[in-house]
Chains A and B, each alone.
Chain A
Amino acid sequence: MSDKIIIDLKNIVVSYDGERVLDRINLSIRDKEFVTLLGPSGCGKTTTLRIIGGFVSADEGEIYFDGKKINDLPAHKRKVNTVFQRYALFPHLNVFDNVAFGLKLQKLPKNEIQQAVRKMLEIVNLKGFERRKVNQLSGGQQQRVAIARALVNRPKVLLLDEPLGALDLKLRKEMQLELMNIQKQLGITFIYVTHDQEEALTMSDTVVVMKDGEIQQIGSPQDIYNEPTNAFVADFIGENNIFDGVMLEDYKVQIHGHVFDCVDKGFMKNQPVDVVIRPEDIRIVKPEESPLVGVVESVIFKGVHYESTVKCEGFSWLIHSTQCAPVGSKIGIAFGPEDIHIMNKLVPFSTNRVEGVVTEENTVEFLGVTMVRPNLGLSVDTPVMLTIDPKDIEIVSEDISDLTVYLESMVWKGAYNEMVIWTHDRQMILHSQNDEQVATDIGIKFHTENILIEPLSQGKEA
């Protein structure tokens, strides 16, 4: 890896049908670097790749290749090559002709093409397959052809769009190692897209975690794993205990009503925060040795350690430990101050506050939803502030919903999924037991009877 920047994305914005799929992406990629774009489906990682490949053009922003702006350069003139998601091999050509496709377009002499293709097929372990039809190959072999076809053109940058997604686990592991070797051997920049965090951590020099069209964190696999910037990254990068907490003061955090010492400071007094505690940092102790006492719900032997789930005050804790407490036993959960990672919440609030207005007697309208509240006692046209607890928003099928909203992110908080949603132009959070696909629309329903309604300005009460 050198320090030379080969690809530079500056403020890239892409929208489809008015929806922003990339929102101001800034990313510098160094020469010979192995960069992985990681995120759930719909996060914009493939779009970022296609921007570099030249298959999508940016609505705003600039893309530089080797210092030159290439926004308007068509795909076939770019010195990058792509390994497509489902290979995209040419079904009418055999293995040799597929690999030779790019070289023939460059009008290289025949023997040179032959040599280059041979050599490349050797690198990807497909020697002797030249005359095979591509649809007679196994998935793994097709994958190798796709890689050879791209690499034979000696691109400065190779783009790989979930190239191992269709392979089974064992083959995946093998190909991961092979790809890493090929990258080192040929000294080509790899930009790799995946939703598999393990793959990303194993293979990359740099991992770029994306969510909803935005970059969440850029860093080495170690950085990303040890110091996730927020609960989303922590959740996505591995199994973690993530809970809601409150920062009482510097070095003091409250989790589930208990106060713990920690090593973080600089938050506001009583600021709601996300707390991450890695499963392997937790020790199993005697119940009297910890304020957190729970019952072991399940134990799975994982070879090196036991994975235990412990229910404590309604929240599930995941513990990786060489100790094993039997299912049903009472244990204490212990960890040190340095094991507590405090991070800002994804949204800077922990309950929803929404403005509304009294439209009729005992009727309030907010976000286009009307609700009836008996004995409201406020006159018509009074502006009101509604406080909606995250657990009073329920996910329902769209045809019986009050509102259709966009699900931006979802993080498991031990007892519920905390979801960040968008209604119109407002972010809200809700707690739900459901698992939903992020970056899609979902229907929600308010438990209106629990909403707290207060008049916005004083003196208008009837």
Chain B
Amino acid sequence: MKKKIASAPYILWMALFTVIPLVLVIVFAFTNENKEFTVEAFTKMGQFIPSLIKSLKLALISTVICFVLAYPFSYIMSRSAEHVQRRMMMLIMLPMWMSFLLRTYSWMTLLEKNGLINRFFGLFGLGPFQMINTEGAVVVGMVYNFLPFMILPLYTVMLKIDKSVIEAAQDLGSNSFNVIRKVILPLSLPGIISGITMVFVPSVGTFMISRMLGGNENMLIGDLIEKQFFGNMYNPYLGSAVSLLLMVIILITMGIINLFDDEEMEGMMI
């Protein structure tokens, strides 16, 4: 009985700094400068729909690419010797410890018109290609930044798959392809779900990657929200309304994804 009190400070903290702020977002979304109730902000939102769609599209593409790249990698990693696993893990974590802004900056210089990649192509008489300030560059940036977030949960869940279960599948006649399709894939579902969540959500909400690699033509929804709060487009009411929309979309998406997984959301954690 006494122990419940231990969580009182946390409850208070979360009420103050999570619940009330979100309520404020809702309040701002439905008011204007004169503190009147209005749905005006939502009527203005039409101009944001293309950015929103683009955000969702690029985030989806990035998530799929991350999954395709990470799945075999995680599998190989989970079936390696223990000391090899530890070394591989360290090499995956190492870049995550560097500010992602710096890593994204490196891609800025690589993808430039006279950057290293174009120089490399130049050696074969190709290019220069327009790479920076394209959707492709934004996807590269997202995949690069969020790939470890796909690898880690996949690896964790695959590690738990007992070797004898895989052997049992082989014993019953599965070739490698069927082992993956019928055993490993379904058993790694919780990891797949948390991996998708951990890549998709930050991809949708980013504005730094698109700002740095996408140029002015590839504004994402995050950029537009940011612009409502900083700079000369200042309009926190509109910004709040878009934020609310983004949040609702993400929460609904997450709800749908989690329907596939009947276990608790514990897979979320690394």
Q: Could you tell me which A residues sit within 8 Å of B by CB distance? A: 53-55, 74-77, 80-82, 84-86, 88-92, 101-102, 105-106, 149-150, 153
Contacts and interface: CB of A to CB of B under 8 A. Distances in A.
Interface in B158-172: 162, 164-165, 167-172
Contacts of A106: 173
Interface in B35-82: none
B175 A88 contact: no
A153 B172 contact: yes
19 contacts: A55-B170, A74-B170, A76-B172, A82-B167, A82-B171, A84-B164, A84-B168, A86-B164, A88-B167, A89-B165, A90-B169, A91-B165, A91-B187, A92-B186, A92-B187, A101-B182, A102-B173, A105-B173, A105-B174
A91 B188 CA distance: 11
A132 to B, nearest CB: 16
B168 A76 contact: no
A432 B167 CA distance: 41
B175 A76 contact: yes
Contacts of A54: 170-171
A75 B172 CA distance: 8
Which of the listed residues B165, B174, B189 has the most CB atoms from chain A within 10 Å of its own CB? Answer: B165
Contact of B171 (A75, A85, A89, A92): A75
A84 B163 CA distance: 11
Contacts of A102: 172-173
Contacts of A86: 162, 164
B164 A101 contact: no
A158 B197 CA distance: 44
Contacts of B178: 105
Contacts of B172: 76, 81, 101-102, 105, 149-150, 153
Q: Which 6 A-B pairs have the closest CB atoms?
A: A102-B172, A88-B164, A88-B168, A75-B170, A92-B186, A105-B173
Contacts of B165: 88-91
A166 to B, nearest CB: 13
Give the secondary structure class of B's interface: helix
B183 interface: yes
A81 B167 CA distance: 11
A150 B167 CA distance: 12
Contacts of A77: 173
Contacts of A75: 167, 170-171
Given A88-B168, A101-B169, A105-B182, 16 more contacts: A53-B167, A74-B170, A74-B175, A75-B170, A76-B171, A77-B173, A84-B164, A84-B168, A88-B162, A90-B165, A91-B165, A92-B187, A101-B182, A102-B172, A105-B172, A106-B173
A101 B183 CA distance: 10
A77 B175 CA distance: 8
Contacts of A84: 164, 167-168
Contacts of B170: 54-55, 74-76
B173 A76 contact: yes
Contacts of B189: 92
A128 to B, nearest CB: 23
Nearest to A105: B173
Nearest to B162: A88
Contacts of A55: 167, 170
B171 A53 contact: yes
B66 to A, nearest CB: 23
A76 B174 contact: yes
A91 B162 CA distance: 10
Contacts of B182: 101, 105
A101 B179 CA distance: 11
Which of the listed residues A53, A74, A75, A86 has the most CB atoms from chain B within 10 Å of its own CB? Answer: A75
A163 to B, nearest CB: 13
Nearest to A159: B171
Contacts of B167: 53, 55, 75, 82, 84, 88
Which of the listed residues B170, B186, B187 has the most CB atoms from chain A within 10 Å of its own CB? Answer: B170
Nearest to A97: B182
Interface in B164-214: 164-165, 167-175, 178, 182-183, 186-187, 189
A91 to B, nearest CB: 7
A89 B162 CA distance: 10
Contact of B168 (A90, A92, A105): A90
Contacts of A81: 171-172
B193 to A, nearest CB: 14
Which of the listed residues B168, B170, B175, B187 has the most CB atoms from chain A within 10 Å of its own CB? Answer: B168
A149 B168 CA distance: 10
A82 B173 contact: no
A324 to B, nearest CB: 49
Contacts of A150: 171-172
A65 to B, nearest CB: 14
B253 to A, nearest CB: 24
A61 B31 CA distance: 83
A85 B168 contact: no
Which of the listed residues A81, A84, A101, A106 has the most CB atoms from chain B within 10 Å of its own CB? Answer: A101
Contacts of B174: 76, 105
Contacts of B168: 82, 84, 88-90, 149
Nearest to B164: A88
A85 B162 CA distance: 12
A106 B165 CA distance: 19
Which of the listed residues B173, B174, B175, B178 has the most CB atoms from chain A within 10 Å of its own CB? Answer: B173
B129 to A, nearest CB: 45
A77 B182 CA distance: 17
A234 to B, nearest CB: 34
